Amino acid sequence: MAKGIWVIIEQSKLEIRKVSLEIMSQARIIANETGEPLAAVILGKGIAELADKVAAYGADKVYLVDDDKLENYTTGAYTSVLNKLIRQEEPQAVFMGNTAVGKDLAPRLAQRLGVGLASDCTGVEVDKENFLTFKRPIYGGKAFADVTANVRPILATIRPNTFPVAAPDESHKAEIVNETAAIDPADLRAIVKDIVIATSARPELIEAEIIISGGRGMKGPENYKILEDCADVIGAAVGASRAAVDAGWIEEKFQVGQTGKTVSPTLYIACGISGAIQHLAGMGSSKVIVAINKDPEANIFTLADYGIVGDLFEVVPLLAEEFKKLK
C-alpha cells in the first residue's frame, strides 16, 4: 500500500538548492496533517554529509543513492534510479522543484511510472477525498486550476519561492537508508563530464527574494548598470523583459516571462517594462510588485501593488540612495 511523502532533493556540488528546503518545510506540514511519514531522496556522489542537513527540516527518513555516475545530473541516470526506488517503496506523493532539473526529470519520471504530473504548482492543500489538491496557474497566470490525482504516486513540481523555509531543527534525526544505484546501461545515453557555472555575487534569478528588471525603457545595454548598482545595494537579482533580450541588450538567461524564467520573489521591481502578457505570466505571482514607468497607462500598473510614474533614470538612482540609508 502506498505510503509516505517524498521530496527529491536537488543539489549541486553538495550545495542543496533553496527550493528543496522550501518544499521540505511545506511537506513536513502536510505530513503532520495527513499522518504520513516524510522522506527526502538525495542522489549524487559523496552525499552522506547532506543527510543531517535535510533531516533538520523534518525528514523522518533519508534515502541516499551514492554513485559516481550520479555526480552530475543526467535525465537517463536519475530517471532510472528514481523509477526503481519509487516502484520499490511506493510513496503516496513525490515532490520536486520546478527548476531546470525538475522540468526535465519530472515528466520523464511520470511517463516511466505511468502516472500524471501536476507541474509548476503554487499551492498544496490536504484534501480528505483526494489526499492532496494542487493549485497551478494556467492561461499565462490569468486563472488557477485545482489539480487532483487518482493514481499513485502523485508527482508534482513546486515553483521556487512559493513556500517559506522553516527554521532547521538540528536535534531532529532521521533514519538513513543507503540504496544502490542499479542504473540500466541503456539509460546512460549521455554522460556529463563537468559543469561550468558562471559565478556571481547576486542571487540566482529563479530563487531570488528580490528582483529588479528592465525592459524596453532601458534604451540600451549600457544603462543596465543602473539596475545592477541598485541590485547590489539590496541583494537583488537582475532580470529583463523579452523586448530587452531580443534587442540584444542583455543575455537570454536574464529573461523573465512565459518564454523565459518564471519567478516568484517577495519583491519585484519592474523598470521601463510595459507589461506584455507573456512577461506578466512569468512574474505575476510575485508577493509585491513595484512598477516604474513614464507612461501612466502602461499595462504593468494593472498588476502592480505600487506604481511610480516617472523616468526610471531618475527614480532608480534615488531608490538606490534611499536603500543605502535604510541598510
Give all domains of the chain, ordered by start, each with its CATH number.
5-187 (3.40.50.620), 205-326 (3.40.50.1220)
Cell numbers of 31, please? Answer: 505530513
pLDDT given for residue 13 in this prediction: 87
Concatenate the DSSP letters of all residues of 94-143 into one string: EEEESSHHHHHHHHHHHHHHT--EEEEESEEEEETTTEEEEEEEETTTTE
Q: What is the pTM of this model?
A: 0.86
pLDDT given for residue 78 in this prediction: 95
Task: With beta carbons less than 8 A apart as the criterion, state whether 261 and 242 touch.
Answer: no
Q: Nearest to residue 33, comparing CAs of 98, 93, 103?
A: 93
Size of the chain in residues: 327
Q: Which residues are within 8 A (CB) of 146 and not within 5 positions of it... i.e. 6 or more apart?
A: 133, 134, 135
Task: With beta carbons less than 8 A apart as the criterion, state whether 141 and 303 touch.
Answer: no
Task: With beta carbons less than 8 A apart as the criterion, state whether 228 and 251 touch.
Answer: no
pLDDT digits (tens, 9 = 90+) for 115-170: 999 999 999 999 888 899 999 988 877 889 999 988 999 999 999 999 999 999 99
Long-range own/partner contacts, residues 137-145 (CB < 8 A, 24 or more apart): 137/281, 137/284, 137/285, 140/258, 140/277, 140/278, 140/280, 140/281, 141/280, 141/281, 141/284, 141/285
| Spans of the chain, pLDDT less than 50 | 1
Using DSSP's 3-state secondary structure scheme, residue 22 falls into: helix
CA 165 – CA 173 distance, rounded (Å): 18
